Structure 1
Amino acid sequence: MHRRNPSLLASAVLLALTASPAWAQAPATAPAEANPTNLDTLIVTGTRVADRTVAESTAPIDIISPQTLEATGTVELATALSRALPSLNFPRPAITDATDAVRPAQLRGLAPDQVLVLVNGKRRHTTSLINLNDSIGRGSSPVDLNAIPIAAIERVEVLRDGASAQYGSDAIAGVVNVVLKGAGDGGSIAARYGQYSAGDGEQHQLSGDAGFSFGENGKLHLAAQGGHQDNTNRARPYLGSVGPTSNPPGKVVHRYGDPEIDQTALAYNAQWSPAEGVEFYSFGTASRRRAISNGYFRAAGNPNNIRSVYPDGFLPQIDNLSQDRAFVFGLRGQTAGGWNLDLSYNYGQNQLDFDVRHSLNRSLGANSPRDFYIGALEVTQNVLNADVNKAFDLGWLDYPLTVAFGAEWRGEKFNQSPGEPASYVAGPEPGAPGAQVFPGFTPADASRRNRNSHAFYLDLETDVTDKLSLGAAARYESYSDFGQTTSGKLSARYAFNDKVALRGTVSTGFRAPSLQQQFYQSTQTVIVLGDPNPFQVRTFAVDDPAAVALGAEPLKAEESTNIGLGLVLQPLESLYVTVDAYQIDIDDRIILSENLRGPAVARFLEARGYPGINGGRYFTNAVDTRTRGLDIVGSYRWPLASGTLDLTAGYNRNKTTLERIAPNPPGLTAGGLNLQRIGRVERGRITQGAPRDKFFLGGSWATAGGWRFDATATRYGEFHTFNDDPSGARDQTFAAKWTLDLAATYAVNGWEFTVGGDNVLNEYPDEAIYANSESGQLPYSSYAPFGFNGAFAYAKVGYKW
């Protein structure tokens, strides 16, 4: 396969600049209008037409304003989006290692890494974390949305449609484009304090932003956000039979809830025009999050405890430090020939360090350290983009034809660094080697991997008449590690009149396997609910000989086909309703296999150089899925004598089915093994782990006297959990639940004072059945879409200028 050198794209960029000495001012991106429900808001996502609005879009798109984000009562971007979008799911898993610290979000029930995240229209890098434990998003390495401070956001545009032909890999479920504030004036500062009704989870945050102008043609907008949250704990006492290895009865020894977090995040957005028609721009973010999450309690009599070290047992903790940074430099403008150019360099990097506290390496005996450095994961992304577009008046069309084309080079790196020897070594004493809860990365685990890709795209859009809009896009991408792929998209919109329009899209897409999915490898301590014995399970790289013997194959790209059909309705002047149905077929979907475990597996792995390992797992393209769903979104502005009332409602219904499961590899049934690569647990997680439907109704009443009252009621549909017990006796269905969020704000002379509550009715998900609750200690499922912390009250004071 031909591999493109990045210098070729750089040469093309320089050629474009030197060939265009005369420039005219490029059209600026229009800001969102004050009314967040107005379908006349201009959009920049999913289109390259300069004046396309939400109502005119050929695909469903949501505009989430900063007022909407702030009204959700949270300082986490992903949590705010999940409360504002019916098709976005953001559960709060616990005791899932680093997934507690970097939680994944789903769009339309698909995998977290099947949605593309942009910032100001530029591709955002993923996290280095690979989610391995029993949580929604298992096997994914998504973008960390919570690394972007809400204080920096002008609006969020969410395209609910396949867009690989426009943006490349990952845009199967849709695109989230975070648009940063860029004004050269104005600003705000706010302080917030809150706590859960259970008396824990105390939070305090400080945030602010400010715009500055420099010279006649320069502006810079800065934003920062920082804060702390205490952990929450909804664990209960041990209710099982008492024995020498059991937990102490009548005492809460686990911590089950949100981790303790300290986080700071910064952002900037700058533009400078040194001459007419030439604009340099740059923007970026940086964040630092330290999260302390909890593992399973080790009882005093646990064979991997040493009583002289921990006479009452111990609760190991994982101390994660996630450092995330990104910046973009670019040049845009318009040539004398009318071509709009955008040339940019994009850098993103995420590093995740692992430490384990309050633990021990049993095999080292009583002299074992208590704290360990486990190692680090790191991803780096470098992107060069050249984007060109122009609107042509062809004469035979009523409106101009917008032609856009461009090229992209992307380089990606994944590094896995080893921990200190005591974190992984097998000492002379009996017992599990390595640090309890998370053994360190060994030198054999460590690796430095990289790849590059190049892409070319062509995009055509036009309004054929004042009623009919058409669009077509095609994109070719070639990767150095797995091959090449081509995606296409057709879109159309027909307005029957001012009140009714029909729109539809048909597209193909893809998602390249991440470097983490191909090469990450480690051994972890895995607790299977209902089994008192911890397992040492190894995640194998797909090219490891042991994994190959168990049926692993080189990963290939996922391929998708997306069909969407929708209505845009405006029956009244201030009432807007969109109804969109969709079907997403994904072939060769990449998932993590079941935990292949048992005595026969242990013997199999020991014979291949992995002594003391009870099980293994690897990534595979083993399933095809079909997702069908319906989105309904409506908004209404009601003028009142004392102010205005804005009402919004949203509904999503979503169902994923397994269309194909690859035959079980012969290696899993040979030599005494009797295993399923994709068993009932993973099948159930994909098809029924997320809520089947979700509905919300929100209202915001702004009075003439400076008061604003916000209320949102949300119904989360039922979801299911599955167990590897073939009888199904431990499977469970969790009923639908309602939550209610309330807030009141008073504004005067630039000041705003807010008191509010999330989940004010103190709703909890159904409790897990006893067999799935670790003898009553862990009463709730980590799949719960709104978590299991209960009611949260907060107060906020801010000033805007």
Structure 2
Amino acid sequence: MQYRTILFAAASAASLWAGAAAAQPAKTAEVEELVVTGTRTEGRTRLETLAPVDVVSAEALQQRGTTELATALATSVPSITFPRPSNTDGTDTIRPATLRGQGPDQTLVLVNGARRHATALVNTNGSVGRGSAAVDLNAIPSTAIERIEVLRDGASAQYGSDAIAGVINLRLREADHGGGLSVTTGQYMTHLDGFYGRKGNVTDGLTTTVSGWQGLSLLGDGFVTLSAEYRTRENTNRSDIDPRLGRVTSRFGDADVDDLSLYLNAGKPLNDNWSAYGWYGYQKREGSSAATYRTPTDATQNIISVYPNGYLPLLKTKTEDHSAGVGLKGELAGFKTDVNLVYGKNTIDFNVANTLNPSLGPTSPHQFYAGQLAYDQLVFGADFSREVEVGLVKPLNVAFGVEARRETYQIGAGEPGSYIRGPFTTLALGSRGFTGFTPSNVVDVDRDAAGVYLDLEGNLTEKLSASAAVRYENYSDFGDTTTGKLSARYDFTPEFALRGSVSTGFRAPALQQQFYTATSILYINGVPFETGTYPSVSPVGKALGGKALEPETSENYALGLVYRKGAFELTIDAYQIKVEDRIVLSETLTGSATAAVGTNARTIYDLLSPYGASAARFFINGVNTDTKGVDIVAHYRIQDDQAGTFDLTAAGNINNLNVTKTPVTAATILPSPVSLFARQATKRFEEGTPDKKLTLQGDWSKDGWGATLRSTFYGDVLSPGTLADGSADSHTGVRGVVDAEARYTFPVGVTVSLGADNLFDTYPNQIVPALNTTGAAPYSSFSPFGFGGRFVYGRLAYKW
């Protein structure tokens, strides 16, 4: 079936391309999109830049079944991956995206050119992006977006920390009139064929999204654009029958999610030289995801009189996200000037339902408040630029600026019942499914950072353009860093050019990585001991060799070509990204009081017992990676009076990441050095995202009719197991996924669309029974296209 799907997809895209080419177009059109990301020179199009920039329009984001911004972006840009993990706590509802296989926190996200805040969540479970605290792209509704610019090149010297893999710049909609309203609803209509007997058609995951925007005039010559979106999604479940009990006991799939998003974007000229602008965004999201099923006979985690059939704990998260920015643009002493102040805050409350604290006995509550994470960021930026005559063929653009940032991070404790040890000392303690944050986990920290940059860009000759950037930043917690970048482009002819860059980059350790703490209490011979995640500079972390975190550093190399002739465009960009001292979450080091003296386990116990701990993991520097790859994008646009307009795109990414160094415990800490980043973690880095991804897409429109056919091919992804010989590994397999949509716009402005994402109901490989003995998780959470199956949808939209 999978081979037929791939062949059909390839044939469909090829025939569409060939049919359009054979139409002998009466005229062609080339879309000239001016970009502002990666350059501070005005007037460059995406094909004239010195580094590759993808431009994704609002219309392109909406012509698919998903209404999630990150999912839509991942299907539009092959170098972006956005998996759908399950049973990973808060990561089920706040999912990370990756660019060019790098960490989710190694891509800088901007809104209207200004740095956006990260989420408070640290991904601590076994998902892609483990150990990162990244920006939540789904906190911004797609209806508020005018377009997205994706800079696929290292840009720390231009924008600061986090831009190791590149930059995603979300440009908000600017309109003083007009508006739109759309309702999209759909659900999964799929067929299951489980190893343990769950077979047949399944319909679930009903999702409805209502979104709209309205442009308003502000005092005659300004604008206010209001955007709103409400989405409700029911959970999906791909768990198989549990062979122990003969029924489905688990829930493996998308979480239940309800979110409401509101955005306002405004601008107003103040006089002939100055204008004011600002935006405000808010999202409230409530999610409910499942933990691991507890069987009726579980001797430590269940009380059979409370849950005679066992129970499935549910983690319920409530997330609030605020973002606001104000600024002034104008001319000061001949310099184009942009001064802005941006604030963002992300707060996550954790609740656990359908659970109990077994140690409290039969009277234990069934739900608990488990604590809160909060992160906020205040950024002041001032940017200045002007063209200066220095004797070149064109004026040199000189840009410089400053940025100051203050960040805070907090952890709040849960209610006592979510973490305490009750009178039933032989039973597990804390709320099952997610143990609450304890008073010893409470954190309230902050830091300051300031930076300055200089950016030069101009034409050295009629055909040769170049840029140079240098940036210096100082952080209150670890010191300073300097990065630089050189880029060049040579246009041999109006149709053909070569471009390349060399840069250094950095990513500052996040406060979340420096101070995240989550522990539970174990009793050993009646004595309480903590186990969990500790700051690297805590007494527990230091006892095992933890040190203050330092910034990650990178070297980026890129070389590409641009070819355009008429309506045909082709870009090929090869790259290499070397990252040193990547910050990762270590392996858990576990002690034992009964182990022989001189063994690692006994030594760990002796080191940690003075601090009331028995096992620990912490964040560390020390992983080096080397990534090599190539991005290829081809586009052909045809306009024919008889056949209509065809937009044909073939885009692919080949990405090979290798871990070249991993840290081990010092010989002065343990008798036998132990890897702090073992095989499973290494393989997750190297093979947790597809090494190949290809998208073939055809868009057709004529009069009121339109259609989109998209085929996406994914290379094999590894879900690494815990065994050193690899026998517990699983593979998703090479897969092709086909999406299709047809639409018609009535003369009154109403558009009706029908479509299906994953039209042919493609799944990754099932995990073999030996690795899924309970039937709970038959597919890998590392699948780059998820494991939900076919999603059928309809959309009704109206523009005015």
The answer to whether the 8 A contact 2:182-2:797 is kept is yes
- Whose RCO is larger (CA < 8 A, sep 6+)? 2
1:251 matched to 2:255: no
1:215 matched to 2:219: yes
User: Which of 341, 344, 351 pairs up with 1:345?
Assistant: 341
Distance 1:69 1:525 in 2: 47
The answer to whether the 8 A contact 2:441-2:519 is kept is no
Distance 1:106 1:560 in 2: 16
Letter paired with 2:314: Q
What's the offset of the Cα at 1:615? 3.8
CA deviation map 1:192-237 (0-9, x unaligned): 1101002000011100001000222221011000020000000011
1:554 is aligned to 548
Which 10-residue stretch deviates more, 359-368 or 600-609? Answer: 600-609
CA deviation map 1:476-508 (0-9, x unaligned): 000000110000000000000011100001000
The answer to whether the 8 A contact 1:606-1:612 is kept is no
What's the offset of the Cα at 1:607? 7.2
Distance 1:309 1:230 in 2: 27
The answer to whether the 8 A contact 1:679-1:724 is kept is no
1:225 matched to 2:246: no
2:406 is aligned to 411
Which 10-residue stretch deviates more, 412-421 or 720-729? Answer: 720-729
The answer to whether the 8 A contact 1:217-1:274 is kept is no
Distance 1:117 1:229 in 2: 26
> Quick one: structure 1 residues 59 and 69, their matched pair in 2 at CA, closer, same or farther if it must change by over 3 Å?
same
> Quick one: structure 1 residues 698 and 91, their matched pair in 2 at CA, closer, same or farther if it must change by over 3 Å?
same
The answer to whether the 8 A contact 1:423-1:439 is kept is yes
Please give the residue correspondences for 1:169-184 in structure 2 after superposition, counting only pairs within 5 Å: 169-184=161-176
CA deviation map 1:480-538 (0-9, x unaligned): 00110000000000000011100001000000000010100002699xxxxxxxx9950
SS in 2 for 1:367: coil
CA deviation map 1:245-302 (0-9, x unaligned): xxx4211010000000000111111011232211111012110110000000000111
Please give the residue correspondences for 1:89-488 in structure 2 after superposition, counting only pairs within 5 Å: 89-197=81-189, 198-239=202-243, 248-302=244-298, 303-335=300-332, 337-394=333-390, 396-429=391-424, 430-488=426-484
> Quick one: structure 1 residues 134 and 37, their matched pair in 2 at CA, closer, same or farther if it must change by over 3 Å?
farther
2:23 is aligned to none
1:631 matched to 2:623: no
Distance 1:183 1:783 in 2: 39
> Quick one: structure 1 residues 610 and 133, their matched pair in 2 at CA, closer, same or farther if it must change by over 3 Å?
farther
What's the offset of the Cα at 1:465? 2.7
Distance 1:610 1:201 in 2: 50
1:61 is aligned to 53
Distance 1:523 1:375 in 2: 12
2:198 is aligned to none
1:656 is aligned to 657
Distance 1:497 1:503 in 2: 13
2:10 is aligned to none
What's the offset of the Cα at 1:778? 1.3
2:687 is aligned to 688
User: Which of 707, 710, 720 pairs up with 2:708?
Assistant: 710
SS in 1 for 2:403: strand
Structure 1 gap segments, 5+ residues each: 1-34, 240-247, 527-534
1:758 is aligned to 757
User: Which of 705, 716, 719 pairs up with 2:717?
Assistant: 719
1:543 matched to 2:516: no
Distance 2:365 2:116 in 1: 39
The answer to whether the 8 A contact 1:437-1:524 is kept is no
Structure 2 gap segments, 5+ residues each: 1-26, 190-201, 523-528
Letter paired with 1:616: A
CA deviation map 1:385-406 (0-9, x unaligned): 1111101233x21111110001
Please give the residue correspondences for 1:754-793 in structure 2 after superposition, counting only pairs within 5 Å: 754-793=753-792
2:42 is aligned to 50
Aligned-residue sequence identity (percent) comes to: 43
Please give the residue correspondences for 1:81-96 in structure 2 after superposition, counting only pairs within 5 Å: 81-96=73-88
What's the offset of the Cα at 1:447? 1.0
Distance 2:768 2:611 in 1: 35
Letter paired with 2:329: R
What's the offset of the Cα at 1:727? 2.4
What's the offset of the Cα at 1:725? 1.4
The answer to whether the 8 A contact 2:301-2:358 is kept is yes
The answer to whether the 8 A contact 1:72-1:83 is kept is no
Which 10-residue stretch deviates more, 726-735 or 633-642? Answer: 726-735
CA deviation map 1:571-628 (0-9, x unaligned): x311101000000000101111123347468874587359997742111112111111
What's the offset of the Cα at 1:732? 2.8
Letter paired with 2:238: R
User: Which of 731, 742, 751 pairs up with 2:740?
Assistant: 742
* TM-score, normalising length: structure 1: 0.90
Letter paired with 1:629: G
2:19 is aligned to none
1:244 is aligned to none
What is the RMSD of the two structures over their aligned residues, measured on CA atoms? 2.0
The answer to whether the 8 A contact 1:64-1:156 is kept is yes
> Quick one: structure 1 residues 186 and 622, their matched pair in 2 at CA, closer, same or farther if it must change by over 3 Å?
same
The answer to whether the 8 A contact 2:662-2:675 is kept is no
SS in 1 for 2:71: helix
SS in 2 for 1:199: strand
Please give the residue correspondences for 1:481-496 in structure 2 after superposition, counting only pairs within 5 Å: 481-496=477-492
1:646 is aligned to 647
Distance 1:461 1:313 in 2: 65
> Quick one: structure 1 residues 561 and 233, their matched pair in 2 at CA, closer, same or farther if it must change by over 3 Å?
same
SS in 1 for 2:361: helix
Distance 1:644 1:605 in 2: 70
The answer to whether the 8 A contact 2:122-2:513 is kept is yes
State the aligned residue count: 745
The answer to whether the 8 A contact 2:65-2:792 is kept is no
